Each structure stands twice: as C-alpha cells, then as structure tokens.
Amino acid sequence: MSFVIPAGIQTVLFPWLIAIELQLGAQELGLGQMALQVPALLFILIGGFLADRLDARKMLILLHLIAVVPPLCLALLIENGLLSFAWMIVYALSMGVVTAFSQPARDKLLNAVAGNRIQRTVTIVMGLTFGAQIIGFAIASSAESNGPEILLVLMACVMVSGTYSSARLPPSPGNSSMGGSMSAAIFEGLRIVWYSEKMRASAILLAAISMFYGGTFLVLNPLMVRDLYQGGSEEISLSFAMFMSGTVLTTIALVASGGVKNPGLALIIAVIAGGVMLAIASLGLSFYGYLATIFVWGGCGGIAMSMGRTIMQELAPESHRARVMSVFSLANVGSLTFGAAIMGFSAEFVGILNSFLVAVAGGLATTLYVATCTRLAHV
C-alpha cells in the first residue's frame, strides 16, 4: 500500500498540474504521461534480473527511501513558484525509474506468500491495490483547496512508512549463483515468455490494453473531464475513482466465486467488453452517464488485469519468476509509454471523442488476432 496510495495521488495530481495548473494541452499531457512510463521501457527487465539475483525485500526498503526525494523536490519547486513543464518531466522520469525497479521485486514477493493459490491471491492483491488507489484519488481531489504541496509531502511520508512494512516481510534471497552476463539472464526471461504460446499471447494482449486503453485512462479521461465537462481536480479524481471502483467490485466477485476456470477466455471477453464501453463513452454522454460507463469499463479492466497476471504468475518457473514478470510489466507499463503519446497526439488532431474510437479500434484488432491465431482462450 505504501507505493499504491502515493500512486493514486500521483494519478490525479500529475495531469491536474499539467492540464489545470499549467494550462497546457493534449500533446504536453501525453508527453508528460509518456515520461512516467519511459523508465519502465528502459529498466524494468534489469529490475527483474536484480530481483531474481538479490534480496527483493532489501530492494524495496531502499526504493522506498529513494521515492521520497522526487515529490519533496516538486513540492519545493511549487512553493517557490518555479513549476514548469520541464520540471514535471524530470519528476516523471524520476518516479518512473523507481517503479521500474520496484515492480519486479513486488511481483517476486507476491508468489512467496501465494503458495498454490495464485489466482485467488493475485485477485485479492489487485483488489486491495485498486482500493488503496481510490484512497489516493480521494486525497488528491483536495488539490485545489489544500494545495498540491501538502499532497506531495503526504506522498513522501507514506513512502517513508513503507520502509517499515517492507522490513517486516520475510527475506527473499536471490539466486546469486546465476551464471552468465546480465544481458544473457534477461534474454532468458524473454525467451521463456516468447516460446510459451499462452504467455506470449497474454503479453501481446496486455501490451495492447496498456497502449490503447491505458493511454485513454491516463490522457483522454482527464482531458474529457476538463474540456467536455469543465471539471477540475474533484471531477478528475471522481472519474478515476469510478474506474477503480468497478475494478474493485469485479475482484471481489472473482474472489467470492472462487475464480474462473478459463482465465484466457475471460481475458479476451473482458477486453472486448471494455472496448464496447469506450465506444459508448465516445457518444458525448452527460457527466453522470460518462461516470457510469467508466465504472463498467473499470470492471472489465479488473478482470483483464487479474487474468493476465494470473496466467503469467502460474506459468512462470520459480527460478525465473521475477524476470518473467518483468516482461509482463514491460508489456503492461512499458506500452503506456507509447499509448500516452499516441492518445495525446490523437486528441490534438482528431479530437477527444474520436480518439476514444481510435483506442477501441486498436484494442479490438489485437484481441481479434489473439483470439483467432493463438490458443489463449484454452488456458
């Protein structure tokens, strides 16, 4: 939770600072969100290698301490009236590097506590994660009334508390005897995913979800709230919270029902249903109609992300799990690098509502390929 609550605050606060406080356009917002994801594209496979080789618990303790610095520096800049788009990019790159190294370590520790109940544990953890993000969204909704500086300091305080909770986790010793170079070890994780048809298909589909649907979530959604509904930090926070509420509801349903027997088919259906919701959102509904659509879309997203992570966690060999999961994160988070930029430029040139349809076309085209050309539906 010590990473997730600050991530929830950041999800609302970052676009608010660019779109509302600095009054910049869709291209700048897309580039800013892209900067948050670029480090994952560059470093997350290295993070997976280190998590397999080192003690993941000690990595998390150190990363929590490092994560304190960017929000405190940004708060200082705002307090002194020095906020600019360039400093927002520096902040985004810094936090992106922390995420690139922390995510594989967290994935490795998840399996240590999951035992043989991976789907249930993954679903519960995702439900708690999105629930904690909603708390972050609620906190960030006060940006206009309390000021962003206080929220950034609060982010840093939560990160500090994470060093204590990380220290209480069981040790997760790495495989220090791994032979070969770092590049060879990383390539081994890529090779395992590529030669497993079901993991490869899951990674491709999750990459498309992140690129098209994730770009919509991070870029088009706040622009939609600002330009079509004339909203501020409270409305942006509410739209994000509705998505996450739908996600939490579906994860609760998955846990209560005991999970699904065919996660591959569930993943495909969830992506298709999510595309339908985005197509409806492009019709220019009332604000409350838009929120209802976002809620259902979030429910579809909860199923898709839970099933995708379950497939990867279950099929990954223990000795290579962090590296395999870093490939999953690369497909998931790394694709947001391009998705944020694509959706930002699309909104600039074809409009926000038409860009929703661009996202739908990309997501459904990839789903059609995976459903007809792979055996993912038979996992």
How many degrees, rounded to 5, is the angle at CA 110 between CA 108 and CA 113? 120
Tell me, rounded to whole angstroms, the distance of Cα 79 from its chain centroid.
29
Please give the torsion angle defined by the CA atoms of residues 305, 332, 335 and 83, in that order, rounded to the nearest 10 degrees.
Answer: 90
pLDDT per residue of the chain (379 residues) written in tens, 0 to 9: 677 889 889 988 999 999 889 989 888 988 898 898 888 778 888 888 888 788 888 888 899 999 999 999 999 999 999 999 999 999 999 999 998 888 877 777 765 555 556 566 667 766 777 777 788 888 988 888 889 999 999 999 999 888 887 777 777 666 655 556 777 777 887 888 888 888 888 888 888 988 999 889 888 999 999 899 988 888 988 998 899 889 888 888 887 777 778 889 999 999 999 999 999 999 989 999 999 999 999 999 888 888 887 888 777 777 676 777 777 777 777 687 788 888 888 998 999 999 999 999 999 999 999 999 888 887 6
Predicted pLDDT of residue 291: 95
- Predicted TM-score (pTM) of the model is 0.71
Give the number of residues written for the chain. 379
Is-contact 118 310, C-beta < 8 A?
A: yes
Q: Which of 127, 47, 37 is nearest to 327 (CA)?
A: 47
Contacts of 132 (CB under 8 A, 6+ apart): 1, 4, 5, 8
Q: What is the rounded CA–CA span in Å between residue 366 and residue 51?
A: 31
Determine which helix (DSSP H) or strand (DSSP E) holds 323, and give its type and residue range: helix 321-329
Q: Can you give the pLDDT at residue 111? A: 59
pLDDT of residue 153: 95
Q: What share of the chain is helix, strand, coil (3-state, %, to 5)?
A: 85, 0, 15
Residue type, 360: V
